[in-house]
Chain A
Amino acid sequence: MIKIDEKLIKHLEALAALELTPQQRKSIEKDMQEILGYMELLNEVNVDSIDPMYTPIENSVDLREDLVRESECVDLIRSNFPKERSGHIVVPGIHA
């Protein structure tokens, strides 16, 4: 099983763009250990001769015809912008 430690939690924290307190890290470390430990059960199944299934849809599916249809939700989507200026969403600056 993959090693769950503070370093990994911090890495996941960065990838998820979250900021956790030290207590939260501790508790997530414990949760993850339990969840992944449970998932270890799956390793008991022998799948050597089985291809992984990516989708239950086996036949080819019709693709969408290339015709423009304007969404009816444009205004609704825009009304959900937390902060807006001249039609743009305003977001915090990206600091490298």
Chain B
Amino acid sequence: MSYRTVIGLEIHVQLMTKTKAFCPCRADVFELPANTAVCPVCTGQPGALPVVNSSMVEYAAKIALALNCNVHEYSRFDRKNYFYPDLPKGYQITQYFYPIATSGYMDIDVDEQVKRIRIRKLHIEEDAGKLIHEGDSITQAHYSLVDMNRCGVPLVEIVTEPDLSSPKEARLFVEKLRTILRYLQVSTGDMEKGALRCDANISVVDEINNIQSNRVEVKNMNSFRFIEKALEYEEQRIIDALKNGQNVEKETRGWDLSNRITISMRGKEEESDYRYFPEPDIPPVILSEEKLDQIKSTLVELPDQKVERFVELYKIPRYDATVLAMDKEIADFYEACVKKIGKPKEVSNLIMTEMLREMKQLETEQIKITPEHIYELFSLMDKGEISIKMAKDIFPQIFRTGKMPSQVLEEKGIRQISDEKLIEEIVRKAMIQNPKAVEQYRSGKTNIIGYFVGQVMKETKGSANPQLVNDVVKRLLEGSS
């Protein structure tokens, strides 16, 4: 049996403009008390007139350009009509007939291969409010609480073609998209806070019998990990059905975090009828070529371009460059370090293994240290004052406290001892205390050397330069004082 999975994504990106889409209320409402960032426009009071936020259009155009879309000079807004308590106007303003951008693509790296995922369209719309359901579930709630702060916060919706062929590819796509959004500084891309929301359409084709399953929509996947987990679960559920000669319902399912399964979100799936029509209160948005060129000129170097440049300029493996470029702050940090230190590969090794591991463990995206810290660490290694192992040992402490490497070494008292005199002294003492062992060595049992090296290491708490210790022990035992 051979099955092919087909996945398309619909991703909502909350833009980090200062104000809402069509009114001057604050858009950064995540932590505000309920219903405090509201006005007649975003609460749908009769007669209130929406006015398009210029930054919103600019940010949407930036995303569209970064995703290689065709950005349209002419776009406009439409009303999507439906009733739900989080939508005070009774309709959502969106772009249905003339979206701002269409037909783009984004490349993702799948197992060291580049795969191109086409973007069908990208449009601007407004967010709805927030509902809190009292009770165990939506269906059991006796009442719900509405917060309209989020009403009218600008969103960009990105719709891909069904070009993704595994849950992993879906996750990689959203991860890369978030990287791009952060490079552009148009969204926090924070999935946990709902700034990046992903819905997926998944179906499976039985290639031998040439049967395609119904398409299932999966929602509520609010982390990268859950995107992959939920789609893996759904993929398997569909394959199991096909194996039994059955099909799955064409329906919307949600990821149930506590049970790690997807569950049907529908009671009655009535054919939706949104009666889209042009928003009469908002004139069309005209994005002149001049304006678009100006936006283009403000685009920063994007991850793909950065990877190319790192490979070319620093001669590091593409894999390294890709890992570093995933986060702009890390990429910038890397470059600053290499500019000071040189050694592009060594620096990339340290950042990729030690620093990224620390960041993952601490669940932080903040880099509290500076390139100065890394510079000092490398200087200490160059001078032979510490070994690479010691550098790695103390790295967590440097990273967590922000203290300079020399300070950490001093506090821990673990400087690599490269002082030949001091080492000689310790070896001499050990020889006096163990004349027998000296005898043994001199009568040909040369592997006793390990005993003396061990003594020095014990005395110095393992911080003596091992090569030097070896040399000194050998020289003294051989009696050339």
Chain A residues close to B by CB (< 8 Å): 11, 14-17, 54-55, 57, 59-61, 63-71, 73-74, 77-78, 81, 85-96
Contact = CB atoms under 8 A, between A and B. Distances in A.
Contact of B138 (A60, A63, A94): A94
A87 B36 contact: yes
Contacts of B280: 55
B278 A54 contact: yes
A59 B284 CA distance: 9
Interface stretch (B50-58, B309-317, B471-479): B50-58
27 contacts: A15-B83, A17-B83, A54-B284, A57-B284, A60-B286, A60-B288, A63-B53, A64-B53, A64-B54, A65-B54, A68-B19, A68-B24, A68-B26, A71-B39, A74-B38, A77-B43, A81-B35, A87-B36, A88-B34, A91-B143, A91-B144, A93-B142, A94-B139, A94-B141, A94-B144, A96-B267, A96-B268
B229 interface: no
A14 B270 contact: yes
A93 B134 contact: yes
Given A77-B35, A95-B139, A55 B54 contact: no
Contacts of B52: 63-64
A61 B22 CA distance: 14
A59 B147 CA distance: 37
B18 A67 contact: yes
Contact of B283 (A55, A64, A67, A77): A55
Contacts of A91: 85, 143-146
B132 interface: yes
Contacts of A73: 39-40, 45
Interface in B127-154: 131-135, 138-148
A75 to B, nearest CB: 10
A88 B139 contact: no
A84 to B, nearest CB: 9
A14 B270 CA distance: 10
A69 B143 contact: no
Given A60-B285, A63-B52, 7 more contacts: A54-B284, A59-B286, A66-B53, A66-B56, A77-B39, A85-B145, A88-B132
B387 interface: no
B141 A57 contact: no
Nearest to A57: B283
B465 interface: no
B273 interface: yes
Which 10 A/B pairs are nearest by Cβ-Cβ distance? A71-B39, A60-B286, A88-B145, A63-B54, A96-B267, A66-B55, A87-B34, A69-B24, A93-B141, A89-B146
Contacts of B131: 94
Contacts of A11: 273
Contacts of A66: 17-19, 53-56
B266 interface: yes
A88 B188 CA distance: 26
B35 A87 contact: yes
Contact of A93 (B36, B84, B144): B144
B76 interface: yes
Nearest to B32: A87
A87 B51 contact: no
Contacts of A57: 283-284
A65 B36 CA distance: 21
A88 B54 contact: no
Interface string B105-123: 0000000000000000000
B138 A96 contact: yes
Nearest to A15: B273
B379 to A, nearest CB: 46
B33 interface: yes
Given A74-B39, A96-B267, A86 B144 contact: no
A72 B250 CA distance: 47
A69 B24 CA distance: 5
A88 B146 contact: yes
B18 to A, nearest CB: 5
B275 interface: yes
A3 B84 CA distance: 28
Contacts of A81: 35
B24 A88 contact: no
Contacts of A67: 18-19, 24
A70 B57 contact: no
A52 B72 CA distance: 19
Contacts of A65: 54
Contacts of B138: 93-94, 96
Contacts of B147: 87-88
Interface string B426-437: 000000000000
A78 B149 CA distance: 12
B53 A96 contact: no
Contacts of B141: 93-94
Interface string B11-41: 0000001110001111000000111111110
